[in-house]
Structure 1
Amino acid sequence: MTAGAPLLKTWLITGASSGIGFSVTNQLLQRGHKVVALVRSPHKLKALSDQYPTTLFVLKLDLRQSDKIAPAIHHAFQLAGGIDILLSCAGYALVGAAEELDDTAIRAHITTNLLAPIYLAKAVLPYFRKQKSGHILHISSEGGQITYPSASIYHASKWGAEGFFDALAKEVQNLGIQVTLIEPGRIKTEFDNNAVIIEPLLDDYRKTTVGTYLRLLTMGRFPMIGDPDKVAQMIIKITTDKNSPLRLILGSDSYKNIIRETEKRLQTAKLQQQSSKNTDMNFIDDD
């Protein structure tokens, strides 16, 4: 490596066969980095594997099989000779009124979107802790800070992941390990096409916000303005920073929505400054 050239790293990426995960994988390989891709369908990466036979390692893993995650991580570290960065991209949207979602769909979604990223992080931590370095990145969403009707379980997974990785960052901050939540808005990928959509059966939901949201979604009223290749560039860039942000907002739509909702929550909280004291043990009600 020539003087001043960027340090080549090894990435472990889930969801590498499509969307943001694929864009990051492709760009990393073009720059000479190594990638271990954990995917359900390895054949989707065959062309890339043929092009980069010595720097792309493809392992089959269904993230819904939680007991297979730790062994897969162990295999990945052995295969690549070490991992510097974990990027957790795999996930999908479950859309429909909460009351009408069946238990199987809910469990499958939470297992993939929330439990799998937690187990992945837990599995890499012993290695990162031993090497006193490592960076864990998780693709969250503007949906980890805001909500839409008909996406309650999706938001549960994203808000849950936000809480987990926020706390995890505090646990490992003195161990040489960084954590970053990526919060994109609407990115032009196959995300909508891969969503599991449960159309409302009850009139109450067809006639209220759930039905309205689904109709607007079908009409294209929520345009995909984000470029996945530009998103990938930003994700790669922050891993070169000495102190990466805990949260990285990507997309003007995500920024606008997160700022609006954060300001509303802050305003509501401030209105309760006095009433919040009423439950303190030493509070005396003068009235």
Structure 2
Amino acid sequence: MAQRTWFITGSSSGFGRLMTEQLLQRGDRVAATARDTASLDDLAERYGQQIWTAQLDVTDTAQIREVVAKAFAELETIDVIVNNAGYGLFGAAEELTDELIEHQIATNLVGPIQVLRSAVPHLRAQSGGRIIQLSTYGGLATNPGASLYHASKWGVEGFMEANAKDLAPFGIGVTIVEPGSAATGFRTGGSRLPQPLAAYDGTPAAMSRGIQNPALPSVSDPAKVAAAIIASVETTPAPLRLVTGSDSFTIIRTALRERLADIEAQETSAAATDLTQPTQPTQPTQPTQAA
């Protein structure tokens, strides 16, 4: 197994922390970023120059560009970019403030977009690499009371899926990770709730108010999920999606089947809106040469 250099956002907790620990243990180099680098001091003391750390808030585009450029300059080659930083905003759309909405989109959607945009020129220059995007089954399915979280994850999945096609000619693979429930601290420390409106009491949207309950069960082993993400880099070509957890698999499969059934039922009605005589593509006009 070849040793690699990884760049990971949100390395202080969750899958980012677990991946960082596992990678360092096996001898890889890690550029570990977090909003508070003090959370990485124990790893820096243990692994020395094997770990490179930098303070990074993914809502700060200028800082993203600066940190990514510095990491490539000092480490020379980075094989894998991992967009892990993110959190969940839950509650009915009407309950959310403008500030909550903007921060959720800035963190979960715009941040990964800017990390990719900052890293791609370097990856192209070194003739390849991998980009791994942490998403969730909620990037392909929905639950009530999570509209903005789903908006951020559906958005980032569309962005990454399109980039998988755009970047393949340069030897850059893209993988979207679809975890199910895992005891990473996401529910308790990685989720936010607005001030509830009484109008939603007893409605499906109110179900999200219990997301921070530490007693909620989990299906996946977080360490196994981190290991599966790391192992995915050994697969060529890069898998577009990596589903982890039987709950995630079941939820995604059900959602896709329901969506496909809804679309297939409209085959005839969709065709009914076609032009009676399809138009022919217009031929470009040749420029007239001057006499």
TM-score range, shorter chain: over 0.9
- SS of the equivalent of 2:175 reads strand
- Give runs of aligned pairs for residues 85-100 of structure 1, distance below 5 A: 85-100=80-95
CA shift at 1:73, angstroms? 0.4
Kindly provide the CA deviation profile for residues 250-285 of structure 1, in whole angstroms up to 9, marking residues without a partner as x: 00000000000100001111100000012111279x
Q: Counterpart of 1:54 in 2: which secondary structure?
A: helix
Q: 1:211 to 1:105 in 2, by over 3 A?
A: same
Instruction: Output the CA distance in 1 between the equivalents of 2:214 and 2:40.
Output: 30
Q: Between Structure 1 and Structure 2, how many residues are aligned?
A: 277
Aligned to 2:286: none
Among 49, 59, 66, the alignment partner of 1:64 is 59
Task: Give yes or no for contact 2:164–2:173 (8 Å, CA) kept in 1.
Answer: yes
- Describe the shift of the 1:27–1:219 C-alpha distance in structure 2 as closer, same or farther (beyond 3 A): closer
Residue number in structure 2 paired with 1:153 = 148
Cα distance in 2 for residues equivalent to 1:76 and 1:135? 16
1:182-233 Cα distance to aligned partner (Å, 9 max, x none): 0001111110112111242232x11211123434x46678522211110111
What TM-score, normalized to structure 2?
A: 0.92
Q: Distance in 2 between matches of 1:119 and 1:12?
A: 14
Question: Match for 1:174 among 169, 172, 190?
Answer: 169
Counterpart position of 1:234:
228
Tell me the residue number matched to 2:253: 259
Q: What are the equivalent positions in structure 2 for 1:7-156 lying under 5 Å apart?
A: 7-156=2-151
Letter in 2 for 1:249: V
Alpha-carbon distance change, 268 to 71 in structure 1, aligned in 2, over 3 angstroms: same
Decide which of 243, 263, 275 is 1:281's aligned counterpart.
275
Equivalent-residue separation in structure 2 for 1:219 and 1:173 (angstroms): 42
TM-score (norm 1): 0.93
Amino acid in structure 1 at the alignment position of 2:250? K
The answer on whether the counterparts of 1:200 and 1:210 sit within 8 Å (CA) in structure 2 is: no
Checking the alignment, whether the CA contact within 8 Å between 2:187 and 2:213 is kept in structure 1 is no
SS in structure 2 at match of 1:7: coil
SS at match of 1:117: helix
Partner in structure 2 of residue 202 of structure 1: 198
Structure 1: 4+ residue segments shifted above 4 A: 218-222
Pair 266,218 (structure 1): closer, same or farther in 2 beyond 3 Å? same
- Higher gyration radius (CA): 2
Matched to 2:226, the amino acid is A
- % identity of equivalent residues: 39
- 3-state secondary structure, aligned to 1:86: strand
Please report how far the alpha carbon of residue 134 of structure 1 lies from its aligned counterpart in structure 2 after TM superposition.
Answer: 0.6
Distance 1:95 1:224 in 2: 18
Gaps of 5+ in 1: 1-5
Q: Hey, what's the Cα distance between the residues in 2 that align with 1:264 and 1:68?
A: 42
Q: Is the 8 A contact 2:144 2:207 kept in 1?
A: no
1:187 has 2:187 as partner: no
Give the Cα separation in 1 of the matches to 2:213 and 2:159: 35
The one-letter code of the counterpart of 1:111 is A
Structure 2 stretches lacking a partner, 5+ long: 279-291
